[in-house]
Amino acid sequence: MRLLIAFILPWLTFFTIGRPLAGFICLILQITLIGWIPATIWAVYSLSQYKTDQKIKDALSK
């Protein structure tokens, strides 16, 4: 679900993973038409890093 949000509303992805400052910066970037593509790429990349961090945290806690 977060991946779909990352494509449609990239700034919202950052708020769902707990990075509101990055979400605000992404929103400013997304406001421009040219900035939409970099904002989407940034959101998808950050989401993949978040998932990797969660997997590492789960593995270390076991």
Q: Residues 41-47: what's their mean pLDDT?
A: 94
pLDDT value of position 34: 86
Extents of the domains making up the chain: 2-47
CA-CA distances (angstroms) from residue 15 to 11, 19, 62?
Answer: 7, 5, 28
pLDDT value of position 32: 86
pTM given for the model: 0.83
pLDDT in tens, 10-35: 999 999 999 999 999 999 988 887 88
pLDDT value of position 25: 92
